Every structure is written in C-alpha cells, then in structure tokens.
Chain A
C-alpha cells in the first residue's frame, strides 16, 4: 500500500504553504530547473512573510526580456507581490543587470532582508540539513564579509569557517520525469540545486514534464530516490 503523492494541480499542491514558512526553490539562475508553475501557484495562493531559499532572487518578468526573447516568470513575482520577508541565496540580484529587479528594489527600500551565502556553501549547508549533519568547515569566505561572526578553525595549517545546516518547511522542485512513487530524473543543467533541495525540506513538492508508471525509470539513473518526494504535479510541456 502506497500513499498517493499525485496532485492534479500546482494550486492544490501548494495550498497549505503557511504564512512565515521557509520555502526552498530549485533552479540555478534565470531559467533551466526553475519550478515556474509551482512559483506561480504560490504567488496566487498568497502566503506571506516567507523565507525564500534559492540560488538567485530572480530578475522579474520585465528584466527577463533582456535575457530571453519572450521573457519568463521567476521568483521575482513573489517579491513583487510582497510575500517574501527574507531571502537566503548567493545571487539576490545580478550585478550585470540594471538595479530594478523586484528583490533589489525592495531591499533598497528596506522591505526585504537578505542573507548572502556563497553558492557552494549554500549547496553544502542544504546537504547538511538533508543528511542530518550539524555543519561543516570550509575555506570559502576566509578574509571576506562571509566570515563575520562565524567560528574559525585551523585544520592542518589551513584556515576554515564553520557553516551551519539549512533546511526548510517546503521545497519547490523541477524535475524532468517522476514515476508515481516519486523517483526523479532531471534534464541537463535543469538538475542544479533541485536534487539537494529535494532532500532538505519537510515537504518536497515537485513539478515534472512527465509522470510515468513505477518501473519505467531505469533504477541506475534515478537521481532523487522517492523517499524525499511528497507531492508530484505533472505539467506537460
């Protein structure tokens, strides 16, 4: 007997994301691996005071047209709608873009808090939460603002800083295919932060291009084992 993880729509899958929740959102930068339909569903659902954990803060629809001809939606919409209290990530705003992404505007107005984390440290902090570890020592950030307030340790003559685990209440994930148990495979660089985030949340919600019967995915190539996945929505491309 197995639990039914299949949801008919993204709206139903994100319905219980509560005010003040910590939400991880997969993807890397502007596109490829962003769970765009789950992000839009969360925007429509309206939960507020969210802590959003993602690599990048999104450029918003207007600026996106500079990168991709027809434009696209990203995390920017959650900032535009005033749903985010705090952002944790490595690229809140892109230095190569004008300073009017939604997150940068709100940050400059003092309406959103930012915790800046080097990208590899972000991935590893999430992996620590996923794997039940209390943190790790890294040389990344030594001699920079990142070391401020953190424990330092010299190991074999090299300086390290202690970084702590980072988990979440919900993770919004994009995968290529899921079977109905929740085993996941990804497509090309759309993998990025998705597998590690999928393992680090109390409730992991995934949108997939294709849902397939159990047994159809080659067990040798499954990237995310089904125990990490709680809800699946198929959004055919």
Chain B
C-alpha cells in the first residue's frame, strides 16, 4: 500500500537519529514533536533557544505552565537536571558548537544542502528567529518537511529561490516520502516510504537523487 508519512511519523523517524547523551534543539513546528518520541533506552538533552536545557516532553493540558515553554511556544514538562539561562547564554551554546543536532522545518533545501526556512513570497514580515544561528552553529542539521508544496511542487531543489537561512548546512532531509542524505557528491536517497518507487520520488524532486546501494523502506 502506497502512503505518505504523517507528521508524527516523520518526527519519529527524525528522533531515531538522536544518539544517547546528545544535545538536541528542536525547531518551530513539526520538529517539536520529536520531544515525545525518543527511542527507549536513550537520554537526550533538549536545548531550547529561549534558555533551557534538559526539559522532558510536551506537557499535557493539566500540567501546562506558560513560563516553561519550548521555542514553539508549547509548554513542556520538567526533568531532573534541567537548567535555565538567558538568551545571550543560550546562543553562545548554539553558535559555540555545544548543540549536537538541530531539527528544523524548511520551505526548500538545495542539492548542496542550502536551507531556506524562514521567508516566503507574500509574507515579508515573518522572521528567521533563531534558525540562522542554529543552522550555522549546530553540529548536524536535520530537516523535517513535506516532500512537496500544497500545489505538488518540489521543495528539494537545485537552487533555493526563497531567502536562505544558511548555505551548505543540511546533513539529512526527512520527508513524508523519503530520507535523503546530503553529501559532497550530491543527494543520496537512503530510504523511501512504503509502496513508492525511486522513479516516483525522483519525479517529485527537482534535484537529482542518487539511490543508495543499501536503499530500503523507511524504518521506524
């Protein structure tokens, strides 16, 4: 059966990338879902750019504290060992390379790993937030996004046409159809959604995809 992954499933696949003991920042929107999807047996320290390290998961309604929010404005739960700091200290942590992984949403990613995730036509007043700092400073940038736009146009392109967040920063792209690694030699198709063929995925992608020798179905 041919299907597209839903957002929690994309986030679940992204969370599998977090090594035990790593420091991970989750960007606005879909990436935030990763907080509740950590593989069993692993400890991950979530960093939030508003000044928090080591929170638990997303808070249920009954336990919401609006003075303990993640960068998506969602209340989160406390965890032993967590700490708070101010915005300047938080971005020292980010720019200084102390965050191992960041998961960001995107409008477009280019074949070179350029990221465009903050501005789009018709919305000149939306801002980059901490995205540029995270893309420039985090050890590894993972993008989670839908493979195509609402109109069915590719988001994985030869060159980004939307305003850039940072150049050549993305390592891994996880979409509702595929997992794609950005390498010096171009984009490598590592995993595909159940029921889809390489040709079908390529037809929805502007940049050329090189199927991996060990290409497989997306594993969850």
Contact = CB atoms under 8 A, between A and B. Distances in A.
A49 interface: no
A142 B136 contact: yes
B86 A193 contact: yes
A51 to B, nearest CB: 16
Nearest to B118: A95
Interface residues of A, number: 56
Nearest to A105: B125
Contacts of B85: 191
Contacts of B86: 123, 191-196, 223
Contact of A28 (B50, B118, B120): B50
Interface stretch (A1-9, A11-19, A30-38): A30-38
Interface string B131-165: 11100110000000000000000000000000111
Given A96-B29, A118-B130, A144-B165, A189 B118 contact: no
Given A119-B91, A144-B165, A196-B86, A93 B67 contact: no
Of the four ranges (under 10, 10 to 19, 20 to 34, 35 or more), the interface on chain B belongs to 35 or more
Contacts of B198: none
Given A95-B120, A96-B29, A123-B88, A89 B127 contact: yes
Given A96-B29, A124-B88, A124-B91, A143 B69 contact: no
Interface in A87-126: 89-96, 99, 103-104, 107-108, 114, 116, 118-124, 126
B98 interface: no
Contact of A138 (B68, B90, B95, B165): B95
A32 B50 contact: yes
B108 to A, nearest CB: 13
B132 A93 contact: no
B137 A140 contact: yes
B68 A189 contact: yes
Contacts of B65: 188
20 contacts: A33-B67, A90-B130, A95-B123, A103-B125, A104-B123, A114-B125, A118-B133, A119-B91, A119-B129, A139-B95, A140-B166, A144-B164, A186-B84, A188-B52, A188-B67, A189-B48, A189-B51, A189-B84, A194-B86, A195-B88
Interface in A156-202: 186-196
Contacts, number: 162
A56 B49 CA distance: 13
A193 B167 CA distance: 27
B73 interface: yes
Pick from A123, A139, A140, A196 the residue with the most CB of B within 10 Å. A140
A139 B50 CA distance: 20
B197 interface: no
A214 interface: no
A121 B50 CA distance: 14
A128 to B, nearest CB: 10
Interface in B143-199: 163-167
A66 to B, nearest CB: 10
B130 A120 contact: yes
Nearest to B116: A144
Pick from B49, B122, B127, B133 the residue with the most CB of A within 10 Å. B127
Given A31-B66, A107-B124, 4 more contacts: A29-B71, A57-B125, A119-B129, A139-B95
A63 B48 CA distance: 24
Contact of A116 (B28, B84, B127): B127
Contacts of B166: 140, 142-144
Given A55-B87, A145-B163, A191-B85, A29 B127 contact: no
Nearest to B168: A143
Contacts of B131: 118
Contacts of A90: 127-130
CB-CB nearest 6 A-B residue pairs: A120-B91, A120-B133, A119-B130, A143-B167, A95-B126, A91-B127
B164 A32 contact: no
A94 B52 CA distance: 21
Given A92-B127, A123-B91, A196-B86, A189 B52 contact: yes
A127 interface: yes
Given A29-B73, A141-B132, A188 B84 contact: yes
